[in-house]
């Protein structure tokens, strides 16, 4: 059997979010590139494997290691969350296209929605969900004009926020309104997990530490903003769908 490179969506931190297929392929791989946070939480599954921190290497160094390892075994990369959004691993996936497989995982936004017990769209509240970051990756990190996507009927999901909370809420209030709900989810699925919820007006008072500094370690906080967070879904929306959509399909 030809060895392969598996890019496995590893979820927000806990191995419990790994898919069965991802786990199978991780078990088959003798070499693993795993960001530091997974070394601790995935300890049980990394036992006996050669584990490397991908962020210690340059692109060509990883390529050389992978080519060397491929002669002996399959290789797994544990990807934070899932490959769909804000993943730095795409250059490797493009490079090894024929020899690799990408395995989906639980994105941080999926885990956040589950923790809040909220779907991120609701009829007449929000039909659009914007996944974005306050900064963009150009030559260096530069400000990104995320405000162009901010609307009252949009749910905003912010990754890698670097704007101080006071300033962020000040920018958002004129568009979203001061009573707009906001939740900050810190280190989802890790022992330090915290969830702080409030409104754009009062969230700053509720937050006691800086969740967004990424100087010493990567910032592991996600922000969700939008009216879906405090609206209850109407019971009648189920019956409406049954009568007007699902029943018609049976005929
Ligand atoms: C490079 S992005 C990775 C996103 C990932 N590819 C995904 O599918 O969710 C890193 C950002 O994701 C969020 N993040 C990653 N892990 C997290 C966690 N365990 N709890 C909360 N936010 C997290 C933070 O906003 C962090 O700055």
Q: Residue 154 C-alpha to ligand 1 middle, in angstroms?
A: 20
Of 76, 106, 136, which marks where a domain is finished?
106
Q: Atom 14, ligand 1: which residue's CA is nearest? A: 220
Q: What is the pLDDT of residues 142-190, one digit of tens each?
A: 777 899 999 999 999 999 999 999 999 999 999 999 999 999 999 999 9
Q: What is the pLDDT of residues 97-129, one digit of tens each?
A: 999 999 999 999 999 999 999 999 999 999 999
Whether residues 115 and 62 share a domain: the answer is: no
Whether residues 72 and 122 share a domain: the answer is: no
**Residue 96, domain member (yes or no):** yes
Q: Which of 42, 108, 163, 218 to mutate to test the pocket of ligand 1 (most atoms within 8 A of CB)?
A: 108
132-169 b/e (C-beta count within 10 Å ≥ 16 → b):
bbbbeeeeeeeebebeeebeeebbbbbbbbbbebeebb
Of 89, 106, 123, which marks where a domain is finished?
106
**Residue 241, domain member (yes or no):** no
**Residue 175, domain member (yes or no):** yes
Total structural domains in the chain? 2
Two tokens at 13?
């931190």
Q: Residue 67 C-alpha to ligand 1 middle, in angstroms?
A: 29
Q: Residue 103 C-alpha to ligand 1 middle, in angstroms?
A: 17
Whether residues 133 and 114 share a domain: the answer is: yes
Domain residue limits at 147: 109-229
Q: What is the reported pTM?
A: 0.94
């Amino acid at each position: 059997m030809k060895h392969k490179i598996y890019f496995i969506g590893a979820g927000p931190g806990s191995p419990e979010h790994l898919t069965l297929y991802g786990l199978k392929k991780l078990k088959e791989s003798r070499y693993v590139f795993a960001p530091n946070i997974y070394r601790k939480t995935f300890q049980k599954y990394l036992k006996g494997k050669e584990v490397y921190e991908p962020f210690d290497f340059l692109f060509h160094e990883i390529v050389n290691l992978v080519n060397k390892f491929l002669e002996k075994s399959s290789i797994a990369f544990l990807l934070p969350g899932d490959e769909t959004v804000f993943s730095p691993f795409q250059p490797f996936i493009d490079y090894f296209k024929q020899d690799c497989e990408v395995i989906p995982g639980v994105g941080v936004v999926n885990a956040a929605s589950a923790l809040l017990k909220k779907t991120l769209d609701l009829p007449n509240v929000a039909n659009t969900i914007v996944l974005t970051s306050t900064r963009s990756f150009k030559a260096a990190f530069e400000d990104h004009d995320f405000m162009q996507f901010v609307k009252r009927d949009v749910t905003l999901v912010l990754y890698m926020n670097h704007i101080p909370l006071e300033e962020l809420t000040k920018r958002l209030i004129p568009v979203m309104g001061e009573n707009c709900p906001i939740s900050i989810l810190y280190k989802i699925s890790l022992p330090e997990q915290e969830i702080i919820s409030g409104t754009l007006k009062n969230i700053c008072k509720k937050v006691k530490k800086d969740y967004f500094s990424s100087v010493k370690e990567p910032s592991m906080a996600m922000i969700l903003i939008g009216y879906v967070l405090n609206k209850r879904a109407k019971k009648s929306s189920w019956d409406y769908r049954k009568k007007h959509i699902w029943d018609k399909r049976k005929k």
